[in-house]
Amino acid sequence: MNSRPRYSATAIAAALGQHTPTPEQAAIIEAPLDPLLVVAGAGSGKTETMAARVVWLVANAYVRPEEILGLTFTRKAAGELAERIRLRLGTLRRRGLIDNDETGLGLDVPTVATYNGYAAGLVKDHGLRLAVEPDAQMLTDAGRWQIAHEVVRSAGADELGDFDTPASTITKAVLSLAGGVSEHLQQPSAIADLVDSVLTRVESLPRDAKTAADTEVRGGNPGRPYAEVKKDLSKLAIKKALVPLVERFNRLKTDRGYLDFGDQVRLAEQLARTMPAVREGERARWSVVMLDEYQDTSYSQLKLLTRLFGDGHSVTAVGDPLQSIYGWRGASAGNLEDFPLDFSSGGRPAAVKYLSTSWRNDTNILRTANLLARPIRDPDAPPLAPAPTAGEGDVVASVSPDYDTEVGALVEWVSAQRTLPGNGDGAPRSIAVLCRRRSLFPAIEGALRLADIPVQVIGLGGLLSTPEVSDIVETLRVVDDPGRGDALMRLLTGNRWRLGAADIAALARYSRRVHGVLRDDTMESDAVDRYSVADGLDSLSARDDRHEITADGLDRMMRLAAMLRRLRRKTSGALPDLVRDTERELLLDVEVAARPGYSPGMARTHLDAFADVAAKFVMSGPAPTLGAFLSWIDAAESEERGLAVRGVEPVPGAVQLMTVHAAKGLEWDAVAIPQLVEDVFPAKARSTAGWLDLPSLPYELRGDRSNLPVWHWRESAHQAELNEERNTFRKAVNENYLSEERRLSYVAMTRARRALWLGASYWGDGKTPRSVSRFVTELVDAGLIGADDWPEAPAKGDEKPAPSDTIAPQWPAAAGTDAAAVHRSAAAEMVRAREAGPESREHVDGAIRGEIDMLLAEREAGRSSGIALPSRLSPTRLVGIDADPEAAAMRLARPMPRGPSRAARLGTAFHAWLESGFGQAALLEPHDVAGSTGGRAADAADGHEADLAALKQTFTASRFADREPVAVESGFEMRLGPVTVPGKIDAVYHDADGYEIVDWKTGRRPDADRLVHTRLQLAVYRLAYAERMNVPPEQIRATFFFLGSNSEVNYPGPDGELPDEAELVAALGRYYRAD
């Protein structure tokens, strides 16, 4: 680039009718073809400057269009940049500034792609050099979850040991570790090696300095680690145990022909590192490389780019260290700072230039953002300055006594903003509400809708909190697992069914009265609790007078039960169809269409987005079951940042509600940020353990470790010093976290063009008052905002004020319930309460009299012959009736509560171990643990741990421990004569001889007489699974495995055959009595 340019940046801008570049912009546009870092503040026109540089290079014939490569993070950003460049080059050609012969214009255009898309292209073109097929299928986040979930649920006890960690937590940890290993170009075995080194070193350290000196002179024994260090070491031990699962996860991906995004970049880096021809070819193909949002690149992306385009190649990177907020997903903020050395030329660091004028934010908004960023800003970097055309801007800090009042103030502000003009183009003002937590969404969304303000929730995490999607998810949870009482309760109290507290309490009493009869030694207590409410709901009949439910409540409950039965019959179909059917059953399509202020398309935004999520889940992995989908949804709910939903377009005129993370790269005329209180924004770190936490790759294995805190475990001379170093390390981790929170606040505030509202409140859900965020008080201290109208802050120890109304709501509103419905329901409850007066005593007396009459009726029913079977009957209850019909009839007439037994506790403990370690959840009955014959007493006071260890050892030594089941905890619902039988099969295996159903029993093998009754459970399981697989029941084997005696009972086998469907129906008929 030695020749003098024909056209300056200013001349090209004039020819294109663009604004004249500032001196900063012109220096970047006209920079030499050397490595260059551009530090571009928020709203400083970096995309415009990048496009202008490409056009300038082409117009001056320094490079042909097809020799330019641009990389960014989203397809949308890539498309917008490519289109901007294409249009401007076309304009220059039409105006005669360039011609096709000089530039090749019209034949080719610059290539603008995503970072992952570019890596994927390298792997597709050259992957065969690494034995990678070019047509490998791309694995999405949902697909990764499905495979990891499968790996964890099939893991053996020898892999997971005795760690009491839920399966969902292990799944997330496996995914995180696998991603970290890939991002930092490591092998999973490196984790185990490092953990071994840490454990060996710590275990060898003496207790303190004096002991260390004595040990050096005379020798001695190592000291015990401090308690907190010991906890950290336990986490490391679990991390090491997960390494085989990470390796298996990677193998399964490879065996099934999948690659994820991390694999693409890792393999591309390997090609660049090991194949000189690949590097030479890319350098020859791309004369100029433009890197957008460089602060968000990962270590593996950095290494790929430096191996291909280091050593003086023309690379221009653009980024803002103050907007580096994606460290949690692998981005390294240090990449931007290290660019000059990473892309040095001939030993000379790359040049650094700045874009320091904001063309987005008005003056007061920019002052606010700059002040908050001051502690983390590079002192050599100029602060962001307002544009000459910037207005004054409006920044308001509103502090309220409580959260409800804060939300009301937010709605008032939004309403006022909607009356103001937008960005000078005649359009209404664009508005967003940015939250640090998704848990804030329901109240804000409901309040906006109550004020007839259209609102659109962005992102799957937020999508799950919308009323219509929340109703679908809760319904699917109950359909998948009738024992999800929590989900059923939210349905009962939600907007669709709106059942009151009195009717729900009456349903619970009815359920205990009708079904509590069978709470005996044939069934563990927690199983009764899980199914009692669902059983009661399904047993209701208009002719049954044993309940105290109102007529309206009874009608709603019966319609809900019928709906759930219809949906359960459709669970074998396609998941997207089930989601749509659930939407229609709940009449959600009708409900959203009736919302005021919404067009039909706008009203369906959330429903369509969720249906798209379900459809993409089905296409993303090998096992798209309803259970796997709900597990993935649970992961999205538990993670504050949620799981991204791609392709959601903003709805014109709607207020957009999203997290701050999701707002990166966007802008609005007006932005509201609620809940700026300590421990919310800035958020409190979930943990300060850093890499000692289960999901985190050890910092020593990360490529960006020089920018991370260090735990000096190698340098510590004794346990006391090691503990001090641990505390220092944790403080440094917390400081790192707070710096990222500060960057996040900078991103949030710089999204606003004209107006910024900052909200806070002293009282939230807790019993102690909160402090206004340091981010707000710093603005007050600097005089940028006032605090004169704030209410007085509560003193430490003050009690939370009581609600202003003395009549409390009769039932808390379900999360995500439509606000208008909540207000109507609450108003109705208040009116009823105020109108009740003294007459309420008569209602209570009447209820007691009804209870007495019902007990007398039950006593008479107990004297009659037969058993009034419920409409739903679990397999274990069927066993109980068959074993002792007289006892069942007696308990039906007068059910008695039973306290939790030691056997049930042991069964629950083993159940939890199976679920977390093997993914094989068992329905464990207390009598199975104690043993029905010759077993130890159920009330034994000691030996719990020993018994549990023995059960584990027996299982791991069995023929099932090393086998991979084709199904675990497989739910079903079938009709058997007069009753519906719901249940779950513990495990199903498949081999050359066909299917084998297994039911785990933690007790000893019962005698032959008892087995005659117990086998009915397997008979039901066999019929249900045969129906599902469409095979004759006779082709399915069934096994009880009694771990207490390490013995199996196989059907068919020496103990006989299982009864067929006709025999089971006949057995029910012997005891059934219709009321």
pLDDT digit string, tens, across residues 856-868: 444 444 444 455 5
Q: What is the mean pLDDT of residues 303-326?
A: 95
Q: What is the mean pLDDT of residues 950-959?
A: 85
pLDDT at 966: 73
The whole-angstrom separation of Cα 383 and Cα 1038 is 73
pLDDT at 309: 97
Split at pLDDT 50, 70, 90, the class of 807 is: very low
Report which of 766, 797, 785 is spatially closest to residue 679, judged by C-alpha positions. 766
User: What are the C-alpha distances in Å from 552 to residues 213, 344, 500, 854?
Assistant: 81, 77, 11, 21
Split at pLDDT 50, 70, 90, the class of 239 is: very high
Q: Who's near 703: CB < 8 A, 6+ residues apart?
A: 184, 185, 299, 300, 302, 303, 332
Q: Tokens 């993370």 label which residue? A: 661
The whole-angstrom separation of Cα 537 and Cα 768 is 39
The annotation status of 44 as a binding-site residue, yes or no, is yes
Phi-psi region of 155 (alpha: psi -120 to 50; beta: other; left: phi over 0): beta
Q: What is the pLDDT of residues 707-718, one digit of tens each?
A: 999 999 999 999
Split at pLDDT 50, 70, 90, the class of 676 is: very high
Question: Given a cut of 80, is residue 213 above it in pLDDT?
Answer: no
Amino acid 550 reads T
Looking at residue 438, the DSSP 8-state letter turns out to be G
Split at pLDDT 50, 70, 90, the class of 425 is: low
What one-character-per-residue DSSP string does 396-421 give? EEEEEEEHHHHHHHHHHHHHHHTTSB
Phi-psi region of 426 (alpha: psi -120 to 50; beta: other; left: phi over 0): left
- Phi–psi pair at 1029, nearest 5 degrees: -90, -5
Split at pLDDT 50, 70, 90, the class of 889 is: low
Helices (H), 286-382: 299-309, 334-342, 363-373
The annotation status of 40 as a binding-site residue, yes or no, is yes
Q: Tokens 């900063």 label which residue? A: 24
The whole-angstrom separation of Cα 461 and Cα 438 is 7
Split at pLDDT 50, 70, 90, the class of 877 is: confident
What is the side-by-side strand order in the sheet with 431-435? 394-402, 752-763, 668-673, 431-435, 655-659, 455-457
Q: Who's near 1017: CB < 8 A, 6+ residues apart?
A: 875, 876, 878, 879, 999
Residue 321, preceding peptide bond in cis (omega within 30° of 0): no
pLDDT at 921: 32
Amino acid 912 reads A
Amino acid 336 reads L
Helices (H), 757-884: 774-781, 819-836, 840-863, 875-883
User: What are the C-alpha distances in Å from 786 to residues 399, 400, 433, 790, 837?
Assistant: 11, 14, 22, 9, 48
Report which of 977, 974, 972 is spatially closest to residue 1067, judged by C-alpha positions. 977
Q: Dihedral, CA atoms, 355, 357, 360, 365, nearest 10 degrees?
A: 120
Split at pLDDT 50, 70, 90, the class of 1 is: low
Domain ranges for the chain: 21-128+264-355, 137-256, 394-457+657-782, 463-516+532-640, 875-894+902-918+944-1070
Report which of 103, 281, 252, 122 is spatially closest to residue 175, judged by C-alpha positions. 252
Tell how many helices (H) and how many strands (E) occur in the chain.
Answer: 42, 21
Q: What is the pLDDT of residues 735-773, one digit of tens each?
A: 999 999 999 999 999 999 999 999 999 999 888 999 999
Q: What is the mean pLDDT of residues 788-801?
A: 89
Q: What is the mean pLDDT of residues 669-694?
A: 95
| Structure token pair of residue 751 | 């999204």
Least confident of 267-276, 456-465, 547-556, 799-808: 799-808
Split at pLDDT 50, 70, 90, the class of 516 is: low
Report which of 409, 384, 1057, 273 is spatially closest to residue 759, judged by C-alpha positions. 409
Q: What is the pLDDT of residues 488-507, one digit of tens each?
A: 888 888 878 888 888 888 88
Among the CATH numbers 3.40.50.620, 3.10.180.10, 3.10.20.30, 3.40.50.300, which is that of 21-128+264-355? 3.40.50.300
The annotation status of 41 as a binding-site residue, yes or no, is yes
For residues 652 and 597, the answer to whether their CB atoms sit within 8 Å is: no
For residues 365 and 749, the answer to whether their CB atoms sit within 8 Å is: yes
Report helix, strand or coil for 1037: strand
Split at pLDDT 50, 70, 90, the class of 438 is: confident
- Phi–psi pair at 352, nearest 5 degrees: -125, 130
394-457+657-782 maps to CATH 3.40.50.300: yes
Most confident of 193-197, 976-980, 1060-1064: 193-197
Question: Given a cut of 70, is residue 919 above it in pLDDT?
Answer: no
pLDDT at 597: 66
For residues 719 and 225, the answer to whether their CB atoms sit within 8 Å is: yes
pLDDT at 186: 96
Report helix, strand or coil for 138: strand
Least confident of 25-39, 191-205, 361-375, 524-538: 524-538
Least confident of 512-526, 622-636, 880-894: 512-526
Level-2 CATH architecture, domain 463-516+532-640: Orthogonal Bundle (1.10)
Least confident of 154-158, 619-623, 1024-1028: 619-623
Report helix, strand or coil for 606: helix
Question: Given a cut of 50, is residue 826 above it in pLDDT?
Answer: no
The annotation status of 45 as a binding-site residue, yes or no, is yes
CB atoms within 10 A of CB 1063: 12
User: What are the C-alpha distances in Å from 180 to residues 184, 262, 265, 846, 1056?
Assistant: 6, 9, 12, 65, 54
User: What are the C-alpha distances in Å from 866 to residues 532, 1020, 1069?
Assistant: 22, 22, 9
pLDDT at 26: 97
Question: Given a cut of 70, is residue 936 above it in pLDDT?
Answer: no
| Structure token pair of residue 731 | 């403080």
Q: What is the mean pLDDT of residues 133-141?
A: 82
- Phi–psi pair at 114, nearest 5 degrees: -85, 160
Split at pLDDT 50, 70, 90, the class of 38 is: very high
pLDDT at 542: 58
Work out the percent of the chain whose per-residue pLDDT is above 90. 45
Q: Tokens 């008569």 label which residue? A: 842
Exposed e or buried b for every residue in 476-485, given b needs 16+ CB within 10 A? bbbbbbbbbb
Q: Which CATH class is domain 875-894+902-918+944-1070?
A: alpha beta
Q: Who's near 94: CB < 8 A, 6+ residues apart?
A: none
The more confidently predicted of residues 975 and 180 is 180
Helices (H), 418-495: 441-450, 460-463, 467-480, 485-493
pTM, entire model:
0.70
The annotation status of 47 as a binding-site residue, yes or no, is yes
Give the DSSP H/E element, type plus range, for residue 1040: strand 1036-1042
Report which of 498, 406, 377, 403 is spatially closest to residue 824, judged by C-alpha positions. 498
pLDDT at 890: 52
Question: Given a cut of 60, is residue 47 above it in pLDDT?
Answer: yes
Q: What is the mean pLDDT of residues 334-346?
A: 93
SS (H, E, C) 203-260: HHCCCCHHHHHHHHHHCCCCCCCCHHHHHHHHHHHHHHHCHHHHHHHHHHHHHCCEEC
Question: Given a cut of 80, is residue 855 above it in pLDDT?
Answer: no
The whole-angstrom separation of Cα 968 and Cα 551 is 41
Least confident of 390-399, 715-724, 879-888: 879-888
Domain 21-128+264-355 and domain 394-457+657-782, same fold? Reply is yes
The whole-angstrom separation of Cα 361 and Cα 42 is 9
The whole-angstrom separation of Cα 495 and Cα 595 is 14
The more confidently predicted of residues 771 and 555 is 771
pLDDT at 845: 42
Split at pLDDT 50, 70, 90, the class of 847 is: very low
pLDDT at 658: 93
The annotation status of 124 as a binding-site residue, yes or no, is no
Least confident of 165-169, 563-567, 823-827: 823-827
Phi-psi region of 45 (alpha: psi -120 to 50; beta: other; left: phi over 0): left
The whole-angstrom separation of Cα 353 and Cα 339 is 12
Mean pLDDT of the chain: 81
The whole-angstrom separation of Cα 471 and Cα 487 is 9
Question: Given a cut of 60, is residue 152 above it in pLDDT?
Answer: yes
